[in-house]
Amino acid sequence: MSLQSEQARLFKSLHQAGDPLVLFNIWDAGSAKAVAQSGAKAIATGSAPVAMANGYPDGEVFSLDDALTVAQRIIKSIDIPLTMDLEGGYGSAPEQVAHTVSKAMEIGVVGFNFEDQVVGGEGLYPVDKQVTRIKAARTAADANDVGGFLNARTDIFLKAKPDTHTDAMVDEAIERASAYEQAGADGFFAPGMVNKQQIERLCQAVSLPVNLIVLAHTPSQQEFTELGASRISYGPTPYRGMLKWLKEQAEVAHSAP
């Protein structure tokens, strides 16, 4: 069994409700090494911090080749599993998605996020179309018997203001989770959720490991754990915190006599 396959199996086993995998998202090899040295069990890129650290906005503006180069450098600098944020697969068509996933698996990642929003467009993909895209991603992730972890993300909640989240949106998320699971997803990512009752309901209703993200306005890591999350991410928060600290320190230096 290859090292990548071993890491993929380990990574999958870390998704446990009550003892979730915590991913403090990073953006380059240096930040990855720092987080790995903190005791992390795995490392995760975030598309937003990776893009912003290179002077680009989020949303597949930073090219796939450039993102893969960053991921390669990270893999060389750590000895724990890396999961990569592949956004919407850098293309709408299933064959484009498969190509993207194949390229990521080839460099050694063991998992990836794959979202259902139409990057550069409006709204979410219809369930049937996203299912077709997930099937293509699944096939590519299984090449060479690696079995990369496909974390299927829905942007139902992230695209709506928190005070507009409804039980009907939770219903839709549960339906999408079921469809995505049948298509081959290993996990279900619902960023942007804030209502504890809705979060708990989602975690109880979805059989896939549920991934939630800690943001300034969301419940805490501990609360997400108590509500049933199997994976907890931090998204762009670490990068933004680092940037704030850097700016403050630079202002102090530049104002010194």
Tokens coding 34: 């720092």
How far is the C-alpha of 117 from the C-alpha of 128, rounded, in Å?
Answer: 13
Q: How many CB atoms lie within 10 A of CB 1?
A: 9
pLDDT at residue number 1 = 75
How far is the C-alpha of 105 from the C-alpha of 137, rounded, in Å?
Answer: 11
**Residue whose C-alpha is closest to residue 110's, from 182, 190, 16, 41:** 41
| Cα angle 92, 94, 97; round to 5 | 75
pLDDT at residue number 239 = 98
Predicted confidence (pLDDT) per residue in 86-107, tens digit = 999 999 999 999 999 999 999 9
Structure-token match 């000895």, residue found: 79
Predicted confidence (pLDDT) per residue in 113-130, tens digit = 999 999 999 999 999 999
Secondary structure class of 118 (helix, strand, coil): coil
pTM of the model: 0.96
Burial status of residue 104 (CB atoms within 10 A of its CB: 0-12, 13-18, 19 or more): buried
Secondary structure class of 22 (helix, strand, coil): strand
- 202 neighbors 210 (Cβ within 8 angstroms): yes
pLDDT band (50, 70, 90) for residue 224: very high
Output the CA–CA distances (angstroms, integers) from residue 140 to 48, 86, 89, 179, 205, in the order listed.
24, 13, 12, 19, 28
Q: In terms of pLDDT, which residue wins out, 144 or 23?
A: 23
Q: What percentage of residues in the chain have a pLDDT greater than 90? A: 98
pLDDT at residue number 103 = 98
Section 22-51 average pLDDT: 98
Q: Which CATH number fits domain 3-255: 3.40.50.150, 3.20.20.60, 3.90.1200.10, 3.40.50.300?
A: 3.20.20.60
pLDDT at 255 over 80: yes
Tokens coding 164: 């507009």
| Cα angle 29, 10, 151; round to 5 | 75
Structure-token match 């139902």, residue found: 156
Q: Where are the alpha helices (DSSP H) in 148-236?
A: 167-183, 196-205, 221-227
pLDDT at residue number 257 = 84
Predicted confidence (pLDDT) per residue in 148-206, tens digit = 999 999 999 999 999 999 999 999 999 999 999 999 999 999 999 999 999 999 999 99
pLDDT at 84 over 80: yes
Q: What radius of gyration do the chain's Cα atoms show?
A: 18
> What mean pLDDT is reported for the chain?
97
Query: What are the domain boundaries of the chain?
Result: 3-255
